[in-house]
Amino acid sequence: SSGISAEYGSSGINAEYGADLYECQNMSQVVVALYSLSSMSQKQGFTGPCIGVKMSTQNKRQFTEQQMNEGKAVIGLQMGTNQGASQAGMNIGKTRAIMD
């Protein structure tokens, strides 16, 4: 791996992509490597122009026992709901005839 990728901690970038870029070969991998380098440099504190997505950073949260117990009482919408739109009563097209 090259000095730049080792400095930013990215294993997805290696020195052969520089040769590919210079020789105009395997350009899709060169682009992927540039996106990876941009993401890693942004995570390390680079504030200049970047391409691609920003890498996630750790965001630990500490909850009290009371907050944890209050959270157990909430029914999230991921559990589902019996209100709102449903497909009950939908008839599209001709019904399927089942013969004996």
| Residue in this structure with the two tokens 């009563």, named with its chain if needed | 89
Maximum Cα–Cα distance across the chain: 75
Dump pLDDT digits (tens) for 10-57.
Answer: 555 566 777 888 888 888 888 888 888 888 888 888 888 989 888 888
pLDDT (0 to 100) of residue 81: 67
Query: Alpha carbon of 16 to those of 32, 34, 51: distances in Å?
Result: 13, 13, 21
Distances (CA, A) of 47 to 14, 28, 34: 23, 25, 16
Convert the pLDDT of each residue in 59-68 to its tens digit: 999 999 999 9
Confidence (pTM) = 0.48
